[in-house]
Amino acid sequence: MGRVVALHGELYAREFGYDERFEALVAEIAAGFVNDFDPKRERCWIAQMDGEVVGSVFLVRASPAVAKLRLLIIHPNARGLGLGKRLTRACIAFAREKGYRKIVLWTQSHLAAARAIYKAEGFRKTASERHRSFGRNLVAETWELALH
């Protein structure tokens, strides 16, 4: 979990200019997952290459019918291999298996690669809102996928 948190902090600072508050948010999400983990309804996938953490995604329970996709990230060394798509599909398959009706996620408008994966997998953007977070002016987006 520590490496997932650090990877987010490192990459978002370097690639997007996010400050340390982003890494703190990721640490809170990871701690919440560990402390409140429900193995019957939640999962995380952590991808490794040559012994190094190169990606992650989490699926957490938001309500009995709604799951939340969180912390999707792919290290630059592992990009272009379809890993983001595979991790996202693992979340969707698990959510369906566990009987969730919907998956929601929160992202930022400038995260083009992640947004392309979500769109390709059938997620729809349902809301957007300007905000200032992590030392930047951003546009947050909420995306949803109905599971049938």
CATH number of the CATH domain containing 138: 3.40.630.30
Q: Residues 55, 57, 107, 98: what is their CA dihedral angle, to the nearest 10 degrees?
A: 160
Is residue 19 situated within a structural domain?
no
Is residue 13, in this structure, part of any structural domain at all? no
The answer to the question of residue 34 being in a domain is no
Prediction pTM value: 0.95
Distance of alpha carbon 83 from alpha carbon 134, whole angstroms: 26
Query: Does residue 16 lie within any of the structural domains?
Result: no
**What total number of domains does the chain contain?**
1
**Is the residue at 11 inside a domain?**
no
Q: Does some domain include residue 8?
A: no
**Is residue 23 one of the residues assigned to a domain?**
no
Segments of the chain scoring below 50 in pLDDT: none
Domain, as residue range, for 48: 39-146
How high is the pLDDT of residue 117? 98
pLDDT at 148: 79
Residue 148 CA to its chain's centroid (Å): 22
